Amino acid sequence: MSNDTKTTPNTMPGPAVDPRLLQRESGLSGYLTEFVRKVRGGDLGSLPVIIGLIVIWLVFSLNDDKYFAASTAEFIAYYMVGIGLLAVGLVFVLLLGEIDLSVGAVSGLAAAVYAVLSVNDHVDPWLAVLLTLLTGTAIGALHGFVFAKIGVPAFIVTLAGFLAWQGVMLWLLGNSGTINLDDKGLNHFLSGNSYFLGGDISGAYILAVLAVASLLFGGFSEQRRRRSAGVPFKPTSELVLRAALLAIGAFGAAYVLNQASGVPNALVLFLALLIICDFVLRRTSYGRKIFAVGGNIEASRRAGISVPAIRISVYAISGTFAALGGLAIAATTNAAGQAGGDPNNLMMAIAAAVIGGTSLFGGRGRVWSALLGMLVIESINAGLYMLGLTLDIQYMITGGVLLAAVVVDSLSRRTQKSSGRA
Amino acid sequence: MTSAPVLALRGVSKRFGAVQALTDVELEVHAGEVVALVGDNGAGKSTLVKTIAGVHPIDDGQIEWEGRPVHINRPQDAQHLGVATVYQDLALCDNLDVVNNLFLGRELKRRGTLDEVAMEQKARELLDTLSIRIPSVRIPIASLSGGQRQVVAIARSLIGEPKIVILDEPTAALGVEQTAQVLDLVERLRERGLGVILISHNMADVRAVADTVAVLRLGKNNGTFPVQQTTQETIIAAITGATENAVTRRAARTAEAAK
């Protein structure tokens, strides 16, 4: 009789597993082997950016021992926000596999619109901000409409926008060419002397604690739900490892920024928007639709997704972020000037999104790439600024970095194809 | 098969400009029946399927759904009735994983956000009941083989609880093992009480799983045969439109020689 109980397990085979499949081992070692396998397969994730950042920091601090200072970090953290906001909008567009060349021009126009409204027409500064953002939304929606409904390639639509909106900006600014902004409203909030909790030392740490705690809470509550639903879940060791890495980054950044003046409010706004956009892209059906359209237009259409609606809305988002970025850029100089539509801003925003790991080919990427990419670009800019390099060299280097990022993207896509992941 | 057909086409015609693609086509599909739709290239199989799927509205004739006449003018109309179509090009998003593809366009939500856990759970259940074996429900479609993509595409069509599933050449470009898996899956669809319309050029597949063979030739019906009681030669003759051809002559000769 005791023999019967021994044989029962054999009569109930589990789901058959293909022996060729790579099974993920449990625990931390499984996490590491999976990571190595992903990198080999071309799924580089944030790895090239982090390596790039370390290389950049090493090179510049070897050249100039003042580079590795809290003031440099403050400079990077503050000046990355404006173009970073452009890059966030571009990530949405890039996820569709399209491009928006107008974001630089729209940002310049937005600054001009805000300046004319708030300074010349004395509109309430917050109302002026709202109207400016809506201008950006409308411009983006117009680009999206011409692209999605009329069928003009997005490249051409936004190239036309790039020229036209630059023209409108110059017309708005008129003869003076520059309008100085009043230090109030959002312009004050985004300016270089506005800090979270007034620059109090606790502000930075509160943000860091919030970030780590919410990652841990989110991770463990999802683990519990998945465990109770009987689907695979991330092991506790992985969650703790992730939280530890974030904690090192967050508390390190908080410490360094506190050595200077604190966390710029502009950066807080940028991070908050990144979290919201990340949530929208990964946790809502709207975000899922963006990824689907970027992956396969025909499949999306057959799944009942309105492809034109997604396209128009994504360009509207891009236009809105361009307008907000324009306000942030204007706040750094406290003026809306003719340099607002600088094409260099557009190039750096595209470079930031791509360097951060968002693919130019659509369907792959995260909004965090705007943050990571901007860290790289502003680290380079800060270094070049310290070395006293002139604009010609800066342009060459920015161009080189953009090309390098696209090369990495193309190469990793090729590796992904050859290992069956693209 | 005595009950009313789930889907019936009565005298359906479709014209594209100067081309009469379908002329007075009749087709019936019952619950739990696999109907193979066969015919040479250009016979109108794809057009017929697209009229049912709502891609091309019909010009003439009537479509009956569970005995009552309906109009299918858009793909959504067909989906609402309960027609799911798996096209030859599958239409899966390579960058999304299996779960996301299965639920694309009808994601499950919880408090306004995507309920990944419930979707993953349901996806596993569905794939298990269909005995579909894939490495993981969380790997991108890009990592799957052709046969695995085909079964995922078919499973995807079942998410909306359809009554009729249309499979457009599901075994084309598949290997021996994968073809067998897809045919197994077709039989499981029949066991679930679904009506299946199977387009295929492969007579072996048709004979293996179909209950009924409907032959189209030059946009017209050219016979409907129960598979069990029909020889392959008869079907081929109906497809090629020749009762007098090399195949039938050979069949007659061998029959005579046998006597």
Task: Identify the closest residue of chain A to B91 by CA–CA distance.
Answer: A299
Inform me whether the pLDDT recorded for A4 exceeds 60: no
Contact assignment for B104 to A232 by CB distance below 8 Å = no
Of all residues in chain B, what percent carry a pLDDT higher than 70? 96
User: What mean pLDDT do residues A178-196 have?
Assistant: 85
Q: Which of A126, A124, A90 is nearest to A107 (CA)?
A: A90
Do the domain assignments include residue A208?
A: yes
Name the CATH superfamily for B1-82+165-259: P-loop containing nucleotide triphosphate hydrolases (3.40.50.300)
Q: What is the pLDDT of residues B105-162, one digit of tens each?
A: 888 888 888 888 999 988 988 888 877 778 888 888 888 888 888 888 888 888 888 8
Task: Identify the closest residue of chain B to A96 by CA–CA distance.
Answer: B95
Give the pLDDT of residue A64.
82
Domain map (residue ranges) of chain B: 1-82+165-259, 93-161
Question: Phi and psi dihedrals of B218, rounded to 5?
Answer: 50, 40
Contact assignment for A295 to B95 by CB distance below 8 Å = yes
Do the domain assignments include residue A214?
A: yes
> Which of B104, B124, B142 lies nearest to residue A303, judging by beta carbons?
B104
Contact assignment for B117 to A416 by CB distance below 8 Å = no
pTM: 0.85
Do the domain assignments include residue A207?
A: yes
* pLDDT bucket at A194, cuts 50 / 70 / 90: confident
> And the tokens for B141?
């479609």
| Number of compact structural domains in chain A | 1
More confident: B239 or B99: B99
Min distance B60 CA to chain A CA atoms (Å)? 25
Inform me whether the pLDDT recorded for B1 exceeds 60: no
In a mutagenesis test of the B interface, which of A285, A359, A361 is the best target, namely the one with the most B β-carbons within 10 Å?
Answer: A285
Residue with tokens 């992903």, as numbered in its chain: A38
* pLDDT bucket at A115, cuts 50 / 70 / 90: very high
Task: Identify the closest residue of chain A to B86 by CA–CA distance.
Answer: A302
> Which strands, in side-by-side order, build the sheet including B34-38?
B83-86, B164-168, B195-199, B34-38, B212-217, B220-226
* pLDDT bucket at A315, cuts 50 / 70 / 90: very high
Task: Identify the closest residue of chain B to A359 by CA–CA distance.
Answer: B95
Min distance B91 CA to chain A CA atoms (Å)? 4
**A376 contacts A400 by C-beta, under 8 angstroms:** no
Give the pLDDT of residue A16.
45
Contact assignment for A285 to B114 by CB distance below 8 Å = yes
Contact assignment for B95 to A364 by CB distance below 8 Å = yes
Q: What is the pLDDT of residues A208-220, one digit of tens each?
A: 999 999 999 999 9
DSSP strands (E only) in B87-194: 109-110, 113-114, 164-168
Contact assignment for B114 to A422 by CB distance below 8 Å = no
List alpha helices for A174-200, DSSP H.
185-189
Contact assignment for A18 to B94 by CB distance below 8 Å = no
Inform me whether the pLDDT recorded for A23 exceeds 70: no
Give the pLDDT of residue A7.
38
Do the domain assignments include residue A257?
A: yes
Domain of residue A214, residue span: 195-263
Do the domain assignments include residue A202?
A: yes
Contact assignment for A304 to B106 by CB distance below 8 Å = yes
Give the pLDDT of residue A100.
95
- Residue B17, SS3? coil
Give the pLDDT of residue A325.
96
Contacting B residues, span 6-35, partner chain A, CB-CB under 8 Å: none
Spell out which residues of chain B touch residue A292, defining contact as CB-CB under 8 Å.
Answer: 93, 96, 100, 104-105
Residue with tokens 């009043």, as numbered in its chain: A182
- Residue B35, SS3? strand
Do the domain assignments include residue A246?
A: yes
In a mutagenesis test of the B interface, which of A234, A296, A305, A366 is the best target, namely the one with the most B β-carbons within 10 Å?
Answer: A296
Spell out which residues of chain B touch residue A298, defining contact as CB-CB under 8 Å.
Answer: 89, 91
Pairing of the two strands A335-337 and B109-110: unpaired
> Which of B89, B105, B114 lies nearest to residue A305, judging by beta carbons?
B105
Question: Measured between alpha carbons, how far is A157 from A142 in angstroms, rounded to an integer?
Answer: 9
* pLDDT bucket at A143, cuts 50 / 70 / 90: very high
Do the domain assignments include residue A113?
A: no
Min distance B161 CA to chain A CA atoms (Å)? 15
**A270 contacts A84 by C-beta, under 8 angstroms:** yes
Q: What is the pLDDT of residues B38-86, one digit of tens each?
A: 888 888 888 898 889 888 888 889 999 988 899 988 888 888 888 988 8
Contact assignment for B138 to A229 by CB distance below 8 Å = no
Contact assignment for A296 to B91 by CB distance below 8 Å = yes
Contact assignment for B121 to A294 by CB distance below 8 Å = no
Residues in Cβ contact with A39 at an 8 Å cutoff, skipping those fewer than 6 apart: A45, A47
Do the domain assignments include residue A323?
A: no
Min distance A81 CA to chain B CA atoms (Å)? 28
> Which of B91, B100, B121 lies nearest to residue A302, judging by beta carbons?
B91
Q: What is the pLDDT of residues A144-169, one digit of tens each?
A: 999 999 999 999 999 999 999 999 99
